[in-house]
Structure 1
Amino acid sequence: MNKTDLIDAMAEQAGISKAAAKKALESALTEIGGALKDGKRVSLVGFGSFSVSERAAREGRNPQTGKTIQIAAKKVVKFKAGSELSGAVN
């Protein structure tokens, strides 16, 4: 399912226009992204939680040359599925 498919499904299930569903989805994604950018955790009960984690700098290896390279530290987004989502998938 891609973004367009999700918008179509949201519009149909909620009984709203596709434009309203698109606006709602984009607003939700903007707010989630903004909270994560600020270092906050986003929890959606039953669905899951998004958080930001720091990955330390480390040494890696260039697969083409075999040469050792330095990989910089960075922040990564993590998602942990909630119990309801996990149950629905299994």
Structure 2
Amino acid sequence: MAKKEAPKTTKKAAPAPAAKKGKAAPGKDSILAKAQAAREAARENAQDSISKDGLLKEVAKKLGIAKDDVQTVVDAFLDAAGQCLAAGAKVSIHGFGIFNTSVMAAREGKNPLTGEPMSIAESTRVTFKAASALKALVKE
């Protein structure tokens, strides 16, 4: 006897939320229009996540240049940003956010397996604070 396969179903995308009415700050109209267009394009190509390689392909396609050229620029940018953070400087990208470092003080913790108290050494962490433009882009 052959088994019958269940019919395949596809998820339908949720309808886009209604646009908020209100007056934008002067000079923000073009930014908001671009953000809206980007959101709509992103929804059409929605993914759970995208890798660095995926981003490189998107930028290369958008600019019409070779992916290798984009990779050279992105790698140089990431290297410079990493060097600045390692030196203790802030990396501020207008309209995107601010990368910074913060020192986490040494503290007492517990071993999750045994529950025994343990000492956690001081460490430096990278923090990110999103710019209001990025927050608005993600929110809508």
TM-score normalized by the length of structure 2: 0.63
1:21 equivalent to 2:70? Answer yes
Q: Does 1:2 align with 2:51?
A: yes
> C-alpha offsets along residues 1-35 of structure 1, whole Å, 9 cap, x if unaligned?
10100100110112210000111110110010000
The letter of the residue matching 2:137 is A
* Equivalent residue letter for 1:78: T
- The answer to whether structure 1 residue 52 and structure 2 residue 132 are counterparts is no
Structure with greater Cα Rg: 2
Percent identity reads 39
What are structure 1's unaligned runs of at least 5 residues? none
Other-structure match for 1:82:
131
| Structure 2 CA distance for aligned equivalents of residues 53 and 39 of structure 1 | 9
Q: How large is the RMSD of aligned CA atoms in angstroms?
A: 0.5
Amino acid at match of 2:101: V
Count of paired positions: 90
Which structure 1 residue ranges, 4+ long, deviate > 2 Å from structure 2?
A: none
How far apart are 1:63 and its partner, in Å?
A: 1.2
- Secondary structure of the 1:22 match is helix
Normalising by structure 1, what TM-score?
0.98
Give 5+ residue unaligned stretches, structure 2.
1-49
Give the secondary-structure state (helix, strand or coil) at the position aligned to 1:46: coil
State the Cα distance separating 1:42 from its structure 2 match: 0.5
Cα distance in 2 for partners of 1:37, 1:76 equals 10
